[in-house]
Structure 1
Amino acid sequence: MIKLRYTALIVSIVLGFASCNLPPKEQNPQRTDFSGKPAAKIPVDSLVEKGQTYLSVYSGVYSYSEHSTHNLTSTISLRNRDAKNEVFITKATYFDTQGTALHEYIKNPISLKPMETLHIVIDERDESGGTGANFIFDWAINKEGTPPLFEAVMISTQGQQGLSFVTTGERIK
């Protein structure tokens, strides 16, 4: 009888752990691609205001010491906070810790409709940015428009442990 209880307990534990398995991750994660979004024509007149925003992004953070890092998945949000006007994004450049440009996410200007949000996702296995990765976004709005908001949410979960935090872009031009 005791053997049967132990066997049932072990089977329950094994099934419990098996049900917690995460689905397998893609072998080759794809970079976010905006090529399907139609190119936008930016008005060329004095009613347009141009700007540039810096956003810090962390592909990893130090864990235990400066010799050990913990990888993170980053979701970068490009948000049009204006309920009436479009926002034009002309460039989204991803840089690594050393300041080397790694990837240009926007090849042709795109527009965000009023209140629209687009995302760039950087897979946690993409360590190319390092602990000091960042973006520079170039954008344009109508003079009466509201500048866009750029945010990054970094997250990692392993077992029952989770780590997450947010950074917000800062206008530099």
Structure 2
Amino acid sequence: MRLVTCLLFALLALPATGWSASDVRLSKGQTVYVPVYSNVFSGPRSLPFQLAATLSIRNTDMDSWLRIASIDYYDTSGKLLRRYRDMPLSLAPLASTYVHIEEKDVTGGFGANFIVKWQADRTINTPIIECVMIGATSGQGISFVSPGQPIRPGVR
């Protein structure tokens, strides 16, 4: 009985959320690579399934603003297609912004990506930067999310 009681107390002491304070990511800025799948192949390779893509940037810090310095869109071969920021965009605590690529826009191809650069005046919770892809045709739909990955900044 004593063993069962000890195990019960040990289980109750574990965090209910499944994460610890060491899992919280903090930074003053990052360069983030976000995969974009503007099409996927669900049948014969010659018939890709076109998808709309929405890049979502969410400031997860409850106290501090962040600045989005740049949002660049690259195609499968790594060629810069579009720059979405002429000037930095400030995001308030818990605020969000997005960039939408229409389903009919096939310029990015299967291996398209966004490079997002953000900065903050002090160390803050890192934002959630991800791309949501969705498409529907002939009664069939598909949707999924592609998370961003911090990378070492380049010299481009």
TM over 0.5: yes
Match of 2:139 in 1: 160
Quick one: which of 29, 45, 48 aligns to 1:50? 29
CA distance in 1, matches of 2:132, 2:123: 29
Unaligned runs of 5+ in 1: 1-47
| Aligned equivalent of 2:127, options 148, 164, 167 | 148
CA distance in 1, matches of 2:83, 2:130: 17
> Could you say which structure has the larger radius of gyration?
1
1:152 partner letter = C
- Output the aligned Cα RMSD: 1.4
Secondary structure of the equivalent of 2:110? helix
Alpha-carbon distance in structure 2 between the residues aligned to 1:49 and 1:82: 12
Map of 2:110 onto structure 1: 131
- Match of 2:120, SS? strand
Structure 1 Cα separation of the partners of residues 48 and 104 of structure 2? 12
What does residue range 2-81 of structure 1 map to in structure 2 within 5 Å? 49-81=28-60
The answer on whether the counterparts of 1:80 and 1:114 sit within 8 Å (CA) in structure 2 is: yes
Identical aligned pairs, as a percentage?
37
CA distance in 1, matches of 2:150, 2:62: 20
TM-score (norm 1): 0.69
Please tell me the residue identity of whatever aligns with 1:57: V
Amino acid at match of 2:139: Q
Q: What is the TM-score when the length of structure 2 is the normalising length? A: 0.76
